[in-house]
Structure 1
Amino acid sequence: MARKTAPDSSRRSERSRRAILDAALELVGEVGFGKLTIEAIAARAGVGKQTIYRWWPSKAAVLFDSFLDQSDGAPEVTLPDTGDLAADLKSVLRATVDEMENPKYALPTRALVAESQNDPELGAELNARVLEPQLDAWAARLRTAQQAGHIAADADLRVAVEMIVGSLFHRWSLRTLPLSHGYADAIVDQVLRGIAVSPSGSPAEPSAG
């Protein structure tokens, strides 16, 4: 008689986890975060709701892990350094516009940002694992340009980064004006006009870097 192999519980758990994360993303796109429930996620994933509560304390926590999972776990963020600061910043900001306009990313992001206003723990995790790494990457690219003498030595790089990224996020969150590559380029040009310098130390064209 052939010996029966014991079920692989780790494989079964990973299948369930994957199904739960996929279900959360699908449902938030269909019904929105307000109508999203643990029960609905469990039903769509084909698991019991206690399975979800064993791994996550709330629907926001499930959605956050779903968001990280589709983003490959919020990998380390780096900005290109081609020697052209304006071009580098514009390429990344344009890609950000494309992502913000993609419902696959926009829907869970909007839901998480909104919920983080009422859930301090979620807000802190979103900030630590998603926002701060991205802002640090932007600041690092500006710091390289500053060290090369292309940005004023007294420029506050954190403020400059928040002006660039925050301007885009502001328009995205209000939804009253369209996002576009042209708008992304205009943000970069405007900010660099204020902090970039020419070799002589006078204000430089935004493409310097």
Structure 2
Amino acid sequence: MASEAQRSEIVEPRRGRPRSEASHQAVLDATARLLRASPYEELTVEAIASEAGVSKQTIYRWWKSKAAVVLELMLTGDAEIELVPMPSTGDLRADCLTWIRGMIVEAFRETHVGMARSLVAAGLQGDPGTERLLQQASMWDHGLLAERLREAERAGELREGVDIAAAASAIGDPLIFRMLIGSAPSRGWAESLVDVVLTGLLRPEAGTDRP
């Protein structure tokens, strides 16, 4: 029969694991709150730890950097960093053009380019948890662009069977690539990108005259 000390050793891991999972979620929730209140460049591991009520060592137990925490939030859809609004006028092409015109101004500011590079670097660090999220999730499953495309889908404007995440990725990924290389695209390039993607998405009768 196990002694009291032995029984304590047996059950202690089971009591500790929920606390660890709770701390993990507390860090994610705290990071999401901080990002809503201040820009990414002002975010620090110290601030996250203070907001979450955990130690810095607890954060570094699961993530290698603040970028890795933010990347997990984005991949799980728990935080979305939206740089410009997405209008909803009933004209999908016009709305996407307005959105991408705003993006080529806002996204290529130095601070946002730095954030994008940090998040990509975090994704390349080889952390098993991050790799699983990258395989299982897509940033483009959610966010303003994906929601506007779903709105068009519900309105019957898109071809049947369109993969919304893939469609949003087709517009968003080229912008991210241009951010990483530090080369802001021209307005004409961005508008052509929208036209190419929407040509494959829209039902023929759903097209509108170009502004």
The TM-score normalised by the length of structure 1 is: 0.55
**Residues of 2 paired with 1:194 and 1:130: CA distance?**
21
The answer to whether the 8 Å contact 1:189/1:206 transfers is: no
In the alignment, which residue of structure 1 is the partner of 2:57?
53
Letter in 2 for 1:74: A
In the alignment, which residue of structure 2 is the partner of 1:88?
95
**Residues of 1 paired with 2:167 and 2:58: CA distance?**
42
**Residues of 1 paired with 2:41 and 2:131: CA distance?**
19
Q: How many residues align?
A: 160
In structure 1, list runs of 5 or more residues that go unmatched.
1-13, 29-40, 43-50
**Residues of 1 paired with 2:181 and 2:81: CA distance?**
28
Letter in 1 for 2:79: A
**Residues of 2 paired with 1:149 and 1:130: CA distance?**
24
| Residue 168 of structure 1: how far off its partner (Å) | 1.8
Match of 1:131 among 120, 127, 139: 139
In the alignment, which residue of structure 2 is the partner of 1:184?
190
Matches within 5 A, 1:137-156: 137-156=144-163
| Residue 91 of structure 1: how far off its partner (Å) | 2.3
TM-aligned CA distance change 1:126 to 1:103, over 3 Å: farther
The CA RMSD measured in Å over matched residues stands at 4.2
Matched, 1:74 2:82: no
In structure 2, list runs of 5 or more residues that go unmatched.
1-29, 47-54
Q: How high is the sequence identity, in percent, across the aligned residues?
A: 25
The answer to whether the 8 Å contact 2:113/2:179 transfers is: no
| Residue 127 of structure 1: how far off its partner (Å) | 8.9
Letter in 2 for 1:98: V
Match of 2:123 among 113, 116, 121: 116
Structure that is richer in helix per residue: 2
**Residues of 2 paired with 1:100 and 1:60: CA distance?**
25
**Residues of 2 paired with 1:124 and 1:53: CA distance?**
23
Letter in 1 for 2:117: R
Letter in 1 for 2:177: H
In the alignment, which residue of structure 2 is the partner of 1:37?
none
Letter in 1 for 2:93: A
**Residues of 1 paired with 2:138 and 2:161: CA distance?**
28
